[in-house]
Amino acid sequence: MNATKKVETIPLFKNATCPSCNKPSDLKYRPFCSKRCADLDLGQWLNEGYKIESEEEGQTDLHEDE
């Protein structure tokens, strides 16, 4: 007996919006509204468009001496 059980997730917030374009978010691409917005955000991270600042001012790259 092969019964397929579909499980739906409940959104954390009602009326959540996409952080990229402010359209309503889609459960499939949450928190984004579409694959396009998710891919644009990923591209920003990969191209160092977003940066997380460090509290250490003298921090250097570990591979700088090589």
Q: What is the pLDDT of residues 28-63, one digit of tens each?
A: 999 999 999 999 999 999 998 888 888 876 555 566
Domain that holds residue 34: 17-48
pTM strictly above 0.75: no
Asked if residues 33 and 26 have their Cβ atoms less than 8 Å apart, the reply is yes
Q: Give the per-residue pLDDT at 58.
A: 58
Token output for 66:
């090589």
Residue at 31 is within a domain: yes
Q: How far apart are CA 7 and CA 46, in angstroms?
A: 32
Task: With respect to residue 63, please indicate whether it lies within any of the assigned structural domains.
Answer: no
- The total number of structural domains in the chain stands at 1
Is 11 a member of any domain? no
Q: Is residue 39 part of a domain?
A: yes
Confidence band, pLDDT 50/70/90 cuts, at residue 7:
low
Domain-embedded: residue 5? no
> Is residue 59 in some structural domain?
no
Query: What average pLDDT score do residues 9-14 get?
Result: 59
Q: Determine, yes or no, domain membership for 35.
A: yes
